Structure 1
Amino acid sequence: MSTAEEPIITIAGATATGKSDLALNLAEHLGGEIINTDSMQFYRGMDIGTAKLPVNERRGITHHLIDILDVREEANVQTFQRQAREAIADIRTRGRRPILVGGSGLYVRAATDRMEFPGTDPEVRARIESEVDADRWGRHRHLQEVDPAAAEKITPNDSRRIVRALEVIELTGRPFSAQLPDYQAIEPTLHLGLSVERATLHERIAARVKIMWEQGWVDEVRSLLERGLAEGRTASRAIGYAQIQQHLSGELDQDTAQEQTTIRTRQFARRQDTWFRRDPRTVWIDATAGDHEANAALALETIAGTTDPES
């Protein structure tokens, strides 16, 4: 099989399951380059709280689509789709293997699947944003009325996605849920998923949040506030970053901010797992033991045994 015919590899799963380590190991074994599909790692300076690998820990492996946005800018899945596909083509031209890794499910699908995204209207978006800011729960109830399938997948706390869903419905006259078609890849793709038993994952998340605090997460947020973090509708609401801003403004003490960050991260991990479990193409690897070499060995066996990848 030529390099051009080798399937794209995606590595998905909830936060703290070991995706980054697996991506590095596979890239070393397969001659790959990594494309980031974690939307929060797009932001320059958001390093500690997104578990972004420092350059000196990337083993010399090229990473794409990291640090591409200022914290004032808003991540856009349509723009990302174009950038990711350009990166895939670029990696192919150099005889390398594209390996996509990250926990933002919609961004993974945007890169690899046949999906079209409606445009946006600044005036409509601004009006809906104001409505959601004023009454988030009421707007979510409205979403339940007009698109129950979308409302089931979008929590009342996810203001950004509520806004986008209502905007798409207004602009297209179609349910937002209709924008997620059946799973059809643009080219051969192998989807790998890492799963961790829930109690173990909760322990890992709590430990990770504690370590991030010790590494200087609060100081990172202070620095980002000087660069306009509070003005960024997406970056400012990221888990942990929002809670630390509340701590710095005096709304939360440090222990409460850390506890709320842990709770929100656990909730987010559950939503991530639910999203990725819907994809019947995913081959799951039990990563509960936390043995990165064993995970890589299982992944390589799966890749080697894939004689008819999805196309």
Structure 2
Amino acid sequence: MTVVVAVVGPTATGKSDLGVALAERLGGEVVNADALQLYRGLDIGTAKLSVPERRGVPHHVLDVLDPDEDASVAAYQEQARSAVADIAARGRRPVVVGGSGLYVRALLDHIEFPGTDPEVRADLEARVEAEGVRALHAELARLDPVAAEGIGPRNARRVVRALEVIALTGRPYSANLPGHDYAVPAVQIGLDCDRAVLDERVQVRVDRMWAAGLVDEVRGLLARAGGSGVGRTASRAVGYAEVLAALRGEITLEEAREQVVAGTRRLARKQMGWFGRDPRVHWLDARDPDLTARALDLVARADAGTLGLATEDPAPRRSLGS
């Protein structure tokens, strides 16, 4: 069976570029695993590769949602696994690229998602508005401390989902989280970067986004569908939430820019924490001039069945958390 290649890690480390380079050399096609790149029109703020930057490599599960829709990891799992199966059936190599940890796990690992109940969810969302997300996070901490530890107290959507699953199943939300058990053969290549260097990369990325017209992109999203063109998921995303606040007059555009930088750096730490807990990720230095060659070597060893867990591999250890 074809080994799926997954390029993961924190934002601004060059995952998209490496994914294209690997796909070119492996006869592959890219499968998106970035939750926000699912959205049409969210291009600048998600650092989505332009069509020319994809260099003719097909990209799948990209631009499949309108900005006013809410992303679903269960729906993503179905779409992404279908794309991987189709790519492999055509004799091509699936190359999964993205930093949304749960989406990567949903695609690669044995994981099932409990159903939803619109009434239960609506009640929990109303409570978020009335009581604040921290109150519901405290409730989650009482019911499922493991889940609460992994979900930030400001992440309203995940807090609501965890409490919904508990209400529907009578079991802790954490009981539904996957182990490190691949559903399909895979090799995960993580891109690591020194913290100071990554912070500078984030600053440069945000500067480029501003110069490329991020504010105008958000204005355009607002203008869609009579002013209701940005849904809950997109409106809370780093980059979009801050610009939306500025356009509402709550902060200045310069303050929004500074907040986007700070928020992106926090996101990078969070992503590193998520992927850093997975012992199967083989870490490479994002600044290595031989990065593509080293990644190809990992793929070759995975194909040959000689690649063990990352803890057994001499690849550089992650430094971001130091």
CA contact (8 A) 1:185 1:310 kept: no
Letter in 2 for 1:25: A
Asked whether 1:53 is paired with 2:49, we answer yes
Alignment correspondent of 2:248: 249
Alignment correspondent of 2:281: 282
Asked whether 1:220 is paired with 2:240, we answer no
Asked whether 1:194 is paired with 2:191, we answer yes
Letter in 2 for 1:197: D
* 2:71 partner SS: coil
Asked whether 1:71 is paired with 2:67, we answer yes
**TM-score for both structures, normalised by structure 1:** 0.95
Alignment correspondent of 2:318: none
Q: Name the count of aligned residue pairs.
A: 304
Alignment correspondent of 2:236: 237
Q: In 2, Cα distance between the equivalents of 1:301 and 1:251?
A: 50
Deviating beyond 4 angstroms after TM superposition, the runs of 4 or more aligned structure 1 residues are: 228-231
Q: In 2, Cα distance between the equivalents of 1:90 and 1:188?
A: 15
Structure 1 pair 290/131, CA: closer, same or farther in 2 (3 Å)? Answer: farther
Q: In 1, Cα distance between the equivalents of 2:108 and 2:67?
A: 26
- Structure 1 residue 161: Cα displacement: 0.8
Asked whether 1:271 is paired with 2:276, we answer no
Residue of structure 2 aligned with 1:23, choices 16, 19, 22: 19
Asked whether 1:11 is paired with 2:7, we answer yes
Superposition RMSD in Å: 1.4
- Structure 1 residue 284: Cα displacement: 0.6
Structure 1 pair 140/19, CA: closer, same or farther in 2 (3 Å)? Answer: same
Q: In 2, Cα distance between the equivalents of 1:128 and 1:290?
A: 47
CA contact (8 A) 1:189 1:310 kept: no
Alignment correspondent of 2:162: 165
CA contact (8 A) 2:125 2:160 kept: yes
Q: Deviations along 1:206-225, whole A, 9 cap, x unmatched?
A: 11111101110000000001
Alignment correspondent of 2:312: none
* 2:232 partner SS: coil
Structure 1 pair 150/230, CA: closer, same or farther in 2 (3 Å)? Answer: farther
Higher RCO structure (Cα 8 Å, ≥6 apart)? 1
Asked whether 1:183 is paired with 2:180, we answer yes
Gaps of 5+ in 2: 310-322
Residue of structure 2 aligned with 1:108, choices 104, 110, 124: 104
Residue of structure 2 aligned with 1:136, choices 122, 133, 155: 133
Q: In 2, Cα distance between the equivalents of 1:193 and 1:25?
A: 15
Residue of structure 2 aligned with 1:86, choices 76, 82, 88: 82
Alignment correspondent of 2:91: 95
Q: In 1, Cα distance between the equivalents of 2:50 and 2:101?
A: 23
CA contact (8 A) 1:188 1:310 kept: no
Q: Deviations along 1:30-53, whole A, 9 cap, x unmatched?
A: 000000000000000000000000
Letter in 1 for 2:300: A
- Structure 1 residue 231: Cα displacement: 4.9
Point out the more displaced range, 141-150 or 34-43: 141-150
* 1:257 partner SS: helix
Asked whether 1:32 is paired with 2:28, we answer yes
Residue of structure 1 aligned with 2:145, choices 143, 148, 170: 148
Q: Deviations along 1:90-143, whole A, 9 cap, x unmatched?
A: 101211000000000110111111100001101111110111122111111111
- Structure 1 residue 176: Cα displacement: 1.2
* 2:8 partner SS: strand
Letter in 1 for 2:202: I
Point out the more displaced range, 44-53 or 301-310: 301-310
* 1:33 partner SS: strand
CA contact (8 A) 1:11 1:194 kept: yes
Letter in 1 for 2:110: R
Point out the more displaced range, 211-220 or 296-305: 296-305
Letter in 2 for 1:40: L
CA contact (8 A) 2:2 2:88 kept: no
